[in-house]
Structure 1
Amino acid sequence: MLVKLVAEQGGDGLDLAGAIAISAPLDLAASADALDRGFARLYQQHLLDSLRRKIAAKMRVTPLPIELTPEQLKRLDSLWAYDNQVTAPLHGFTSANDYYRRASAGHLLKEIELPTLILHAADDPFMPANLIERLPAPSDAVRLEIADQGGHVGFVEARQGRLNSWLARRVARQLQDWMTIPHPLKRLASRS
Structure 2
Amino acid sequence: MTGGNAHSALNGFRAAWWLPGGHLQSLRRKFGPGVTVAQEGERLRLEDGDFIDLAWVRPGGEIAPGDPVVFVLHGLCGCSESLYVQALQHHLLARGIASVAMNFRGCSGEPNDKARSYHSGVSADADQVFRKLRERLPGNSFHCVGYSLGGNVLLKWLAETGGPVGLDRAVSISVPFDLAQCSAALGRGLTRYYGRYFLGRLQQDLAAKKLRFRETGNEAELALLEELGPLQDIASLWEFDDRVTAPLHGFADAADYYAKCSSLPLLAGISTPTLLIQSADDPLVPAASLPDPARLPENVRLELTGAGGHVGFFAATGSRLEQAAADFLVC
Task: Sort the TM-score into its range (normalised by shorter chain).
Answer: 0.7 to 0.9
Shift of 1:48: 0.2
Shift of 1:153: 0.4
Shift of 1:34: 1.1
- Cα deviation code 1:127-177 (max 9, x no counterpart): 112212579821111011111111110111113xxxx11101211221232
Paired with 1:94 and 1:125, the residues of 2 have a C-alpha distance of 28
Shift of 1:80: 0.9
Report matched runs for 1:1-192 at 5 Å: 1-11=153-163, 13-60=164-211, 61=214, 62-65=222-225, 66-69=227-230, 73-132=231-290, 137-159=295-317, 164-177=318-331
Select between 82-91 and 131-140 the one with higher mean Cα deviation: 131-140
RMSD (Å), alpha carbons: 1.7
4+ runs deviating over 6 angstroms: none
Paired with 1:166 and 1:117, the residues of 2 have a C-alpha distance of 15
Q: Tell me if the contact between 1:107 and 1:136 (Cα under 8 Å) persists in the aligned partners.
A: no
Structure 2 alignment gaps of length 5 or more? 1-152, 215-221
Aligned counterpart, 1:182: none
What is the letter of the counterpart of residue 168 of structure 1?
A: E
Q: What's the TM-score, normalizing by structure 1?
A: 0.82
Q: Tell me if the contact between 1:111 and 1:138 (Cα under 8 Å) persists in the aligned partners.
A: no
* Identity of matched residues, %: 42
Secondary structure, aligned partner of 2:166 = coil
Q: What's the TM-score, normalizing by structure 2?
A: 0.49
Aligned counterpart, 1:184: none
Q: Tell me if the contact between 1:112 and 1:139 (Cα under 8 Å) persists in the aligned partners.
A: yes
